[in-house]
Amino acid sequence: MSKAKVSIIIPTYNEEAHLPILLECLENQTYKDFEIIVADANSKDITRKIARDFGAKVVDGGIPSVGRNNGAKVATGDVFVFIDADVTFNNTFLENALDSFKKRKLDFATPYYNINVKKFSHRSFFVWGNAYKRFMRYTRFPDGTGQLAIVKKDKFNEIGGYPNYIIGEDTELFWKAARSKYKVGTIKENFNSSVRRIEKVGIFWLLLTFSFIGIFLMIGKGGDKVVQSLGVKLYGGLGKAK
């Protein structure tokens, strides 16, 4: 088992319903050497109280990229694990994922989606997502799913952390790492991804958004204000969800 000190960084905003589930999941992990940092974007509910009750360190957040970067600034671990508040996994996930990360000598990594979900449309989406991950790991544009990412602290800091994008920041981080010749890849372990956005805006809008943002990131224009603004609208199904 890996002996690295780990910092788990969770960006939040009004996550009182989901955060306790993730924190309980973390409490039950077979791997124990980690700290938890919740970067909260001024939640209006009891998200911060929940985090503190579980012993997490709480810092000010913002949009996901800002929250993750703020969490990283106070993190003491050698390895960062960025996790969205509505993600879960089995009790051996951290132990096995960190082992894979170490054995493969990766600098940046993302795991696969768990495809064992009831709804066919959700399962199809995750099967497609895993196929995308498998294919893109052999290219200069590896997958960088922001829901759950594992990175080495020193390499993360060397490339300046997440770009200050509202959308596509996770992809740009991994693509920048790949361009910088760091070792970027996927690991075989899987996690339970939330289906909240699939339910709210639909698979069509998600795929359209990923394609749109991906194209502009590839040509170095992903951070342009117009691209970001339109990307956010697409990601919300043009008004269906914030």
- pLDDT digits over 130-151, tens only? 999 999 998 999 998 889 999 9
For the cut 60, the answer to whether the pLDDT of residue 106 exceeds it is yes
The tens digit of pLDDT for each residue in 29-82 reads 999 999 999 999 999 999 999 999 999 999 999 999 999 999 999 999 999 999
For the cut 50, the answer to whether the pLDDT of residue 1 exceeds it is no
Q: What is the pLDDT of residue 242?
A: 62
- In whole numbers, what is the pLDDT of the chain averaged over residues? 95
- Band (2; pLDDT cuts 50, 70, 90): very low
Mean pLDDT, residues 18-22: 98
Mean pLDDT, residues 174-182: 96
- Band (3; pLDDT cuts 50, 70, 90): low
Closest CA to 181 of 113, 102, 107, 80: 107
Q: What is the pLDDT of residue 237?
A: 85
For the cut 90, the answer to whether the pLDDT of residue 239 exceeds it is no
